[in-house]
């Protein structure tokens, strides 16, 4: 079993720790020493550190999970690679695509794996949808229409995600990065991007809504909206092929029961043949994703999504922000 160190002992760090199977957490670190101490007390045999450097110096850690604010992610990835560690980093892996450009060559130099934590790919509905698409049952894919939104919470505009220097943006870089990644999973790279990011409600210097139209070289379209003024949490992802449609709704919890509907177009057209799968059980996407990462390492295969996927994702996000007048580089 491989040993894991976790950087960042907040909510996501806890989720990652609880999702680890066939490996063991042996160390954690957080700039808040009390939080690191409390984290370590929840797991057997975990050493708490007050800095990333102390954690990297723990030679027993073969994998580092990085779950810290966006501004710190690229430098921590780099330090982890320089210490010869495999890295699982939370999405979006950086604030700007430019921050990641020199990291894949470094990973290649030491034959290390870097996986970017876009766990939505591993929800049961998306795993089933990918199986259906890969079988050819949907025919040629035409377009995607997707919405993802929540309503925030009291004090949301004062959290770190509302501080541009830390987050690199608002709703677009947060939930929007998931929709872009899921769209790329099915349609591939996008070569055209038009979007608008705006702030309608929250008193903060980052966006609370974003709207995007993305297009591939094959003229396939992804039409996406993300929002933190969605007063009833919503997730909807529709994938249209020439022979049918897949409709994924809900992600569990406040987003509603996760469900996949397959509408198969018949030769005579008319009402489609419909099959529905529901997944009311607990979300296991974090666990499945980590297991995939262990296989990446064992099989010496390139993680997907990895750094290249994160770069393509951030190129879209950065362009929409610039086109919308949000210049977070300044």
Asked if the model's pLDDT at residue 143 lies above 60, the reply is yes
Question: Which range has the worst mean pLDDT, 134-138, 203-207, 282-286, 326-330?
Answer: 326-330
Residue 327, pLDDT score: 84
Q: In the predicted model, what is the mean pLDDT of residues 128-152?
A: 98
Asked if the model's pLDDT at residue 328 lies above 90, the reply is no
Q: In the predicted model, what is the mean pLDDT of residues 292-302?
A: 97
Q: Which overall architecture, per CATH, does domain 2-117 show?
A: 3-Layer(aba) Sandwich (3.40)
Residue 329, pLDDT score: 72
Residue in 182, 137, 161 with CA at minimum distance from that of residue 68: 161
Tokens of 109: 């130099």
What value does the mean pLDDT of the chain take?
96
- Please list the residue range(s) of the chain that carry CATH number 3.40.50.720: 2-117
Residue 330, pLDDT score: 54
CA 252 distance to own-chain centroid: 17
Residue 148: pLDDT band (50, 70, 90) is: very high
**141-149/234-241 β-pairing:** antiparallel
Between residues 187 and 59, the one the model is more confident about = 187
Q: In the predicted model, what is the mean pLDDT of residues 235-244?
A: 98
Residue 188: pLDDT band (50, 70, 90) is: very high
Distance CA 95, CA 152 (A): 21
The CATH homologous superfamily of the domain defined by 120-286+314-323: Dihydrodipicolinate Reductase; domain 2 (3.30.360.10)
Asked if the model's pLDDT at residue 201 lies above 60, the reply is yes
Residue 216, pLDDT score: 98
Q: Is 72 exposed, middle or buried (CB count within 10 Å of its CB: 0-12, 13-18, 19+)? A: middle
- Please list the residue range(s) of the chain that carry CATH number 3.30.360.10: 120-286+314-323
Distance CA 67, CA 36 (A): 13
Percentages helix, strand, coil for the chain (3-state, rounded to 5) are: 40, 25, 35
Asked if the model's pLDDT at residue 204 lies above 70, the reply is yes
| Tens-digit pLDDT profile for residues 38-87 | 999 998 899 999 999 999 998 899 999 999 999 999 999 999 999 999 99
């Amino acid at each position: 079993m491989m040993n894991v160190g976790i950087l960042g002992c907040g909510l996501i760090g806890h989720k990652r720790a609880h999702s680890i199977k066939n490996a063991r957490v042996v160390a954690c670190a957080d700039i808040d020493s009390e939080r690191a101490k409390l984290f370590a007390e929840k797991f057997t045999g975990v050493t708490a550190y007050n800095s990333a450097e102390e954690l990297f110096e723990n030679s027993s850690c073969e994998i580092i999970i990085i779950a810290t604010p966006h501004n710190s992610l690229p430098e921590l990835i780099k330090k982890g690679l320089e210490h010869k560690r495999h890295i699982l980093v939370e999405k979006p892996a950086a604030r700007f695509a430019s921050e990641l450009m020199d990291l894949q060559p470094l990973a290649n130099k030491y034959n290390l794996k870097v996986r970017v934590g876009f766990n939505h790919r591993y929800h049961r509905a998306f795993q089933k949808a990918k199986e259906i698409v890969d079988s050819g049952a949907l025919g040629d894919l035409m377009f995607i229409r997707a919405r993802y939104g929540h309503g925030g919470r009291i004090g949301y505009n004062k959290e770190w995600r509302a501080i541009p220097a830390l987050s690199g943006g608002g709703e677009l870089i947060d939930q929007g990065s998931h929709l872009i990644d899921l769209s790329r999973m099915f349609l591939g790279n996008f070569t055209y991007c038009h979007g608008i990011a705006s702030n309608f409600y929250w008193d903060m210097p980052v966006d609370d809504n974003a709207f995007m139209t993305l297009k591939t070289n094959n003229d396939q379209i992804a039409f996406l909206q993300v929002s933190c003024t969605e007063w009833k949490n919503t997730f909807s992802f529709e994938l249209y092929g020439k022979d049918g449609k897949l409709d994924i709704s809900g992600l569990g919890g406040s987003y509603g029961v996760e469900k996949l509907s397959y509408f198969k177009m018949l030769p005579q057209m008319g009402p489609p043949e419909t099959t529905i799968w529901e997944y009311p059980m607990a979300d296991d996407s974090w666990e499945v994703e980590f297991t995939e990462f262990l296989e990446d390492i064992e099989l010496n295969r390139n993680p997907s999504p990895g750094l290249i996927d994160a770069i393509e994702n951030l190129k879209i996000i950065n362009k929409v922000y610039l086109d919308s007048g949000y210049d977070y580089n300044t």
